[in-house]
Amino acid sequence: MHYNSTGSSLWSEAGNRKALKAQETGIGMVAMAPSSDEGICKSMVETHGYECEEHTVTTEDGYILSVQRIPMGRSGGTRGTGTRPPVLLQHGLLMDAITWLLLPPEQSLALVLSDNGYDVWLANSRGTKYSKGHTSLSPNDPGYWDWSWDELVAYDLPATIQYVYDQTGQKLHYVGHSQGTLMALAAFSKDEVLNMLRSAALLCPIAYMGQLTSPLAKNAADAFIAETVYWLGLDEFDPRGETVVKLLKEICSKPGVDCTNLLTSFTGQNCCLNSSIVNMFLDHEPQPSATKNMVHLAQMIRQGTITMYDYVDVVENMKHYGQPTPPAYNMTGIPNDFPLFVSYGGADALADVNDVKLLLGSLKDHDGDKFVVQYRDDYAHADYVMAENAKQDVYDPLIAFFRLQ
């Protein structure tokens, strides 16, 4: 059984072992990845009996993003616009909108929200499989990959939110996971997009990364792996590509880094994933990102700060920012009366508890009745989108929070 040709063996080895075990025990078989001409609607939503629409959004800097809309639940009811509150789901790093559809329909957040009366919209960040379009560049052009999450904050997020707002004629709820929370927090700190939102739910919130415990991510940042890939002239960071896999294997051979389960070495020990979902995950993810984005995240890990991309060269920084060092995103700038739901896990190696506490410290003056913080001791980074008990443990409280806003 095998998932992708070049360089995927590192990712699929862990999956293969699980798949064989699953076959022995009769647990679910591996679903094959959709052929590239099939969008997310056809391959992941309509198959479960939900209506789904494919939309595209063009950002101010020319990226053409794929957005899916699930206008109503399986049980029917009133259609999208006007009657159902819209909610936008934004995936994390090296993922795409399939994040929200990996679990069975009665457990995956996108479909649970739909069945609960929401008009559900799924975002796909630039560079991922279904968002590779651009008005003038091709993914083979280095310029196509010249961005970090600063651009996701400045362009992708506002374009997508504006589009949903315009289409539905009402303010929306937002759900972010991982990098999807970083994008939102950075935008909120500058008081952007808030006028189009009712509330936000942040799962595994990432603002600070200086204390992350993932041995793989920590070693990669300390060894300047992303910078190495960048200097080699690879503008696209493809986790399944030969170069990245080679560098990952080098880190994996270091003492104290165990990559028998590559997912765990990134995310921390997830409590509640079954083996068939790991195979499902490996069929669709990980997705590419810009190498420049990985460099930006590595800077945050090494420095423990949340600033814009550092060109490390005073002249370059002056050119881009008009100052010798990159401007900081100030988390205390998030308006205290904006409704926030935050959920984080004790076993998360990427959104580490101590880093989340730094963020919560910046939010200490937030209005008590507009702020819900949930802590799950046994949850790690992937549990929030893949755990078999995530519906009752996280999604039900999240929906209850939305209903109050």
Could you give the residue numbers annotated as active site? Answer: 178, 348, 381
80 close to 117: Cβ distance less than 8 angstroms = no
- State yes or no: cis peptide before 324, omega within 30 of 0: no
CB atoms under 10 Å from CB of 60, counted, come to 11
What DSSP string runs through 3-31? S-STT-HHHHHHHHHHHHHHHHHT--PPP
Distance from C-alpha of 87 to C-alpha of 242, rounded to nearest angstrom: 37
For residue 376, what are the β-bridge partners? 345
Pick from 198, 248, 254: nearest CA to 226 = 248
Amino acid at 25: T
Question: Encoding tokens for residue 296?
Answer: 């930006």
- Please tell me the distance from the alpha carbon of residue 328 to that of residue 289, in angstroms, as a whole number: 23
- Distance, in Å, from the CA atom of 109 to the CA atom of 390, rounded to the nearest integer, reads 9
Of 88, 302, 353, 65, nearest to 199 (Cα)?
A: 88
8 Å CB contact between 208 and 300: yes
**Position 347: which residue type?**
A
What is the greatest pairwise CA distance in the chain?
Answer: 61
Q: How far is CA 56 from the centre of its chain?
A: 19
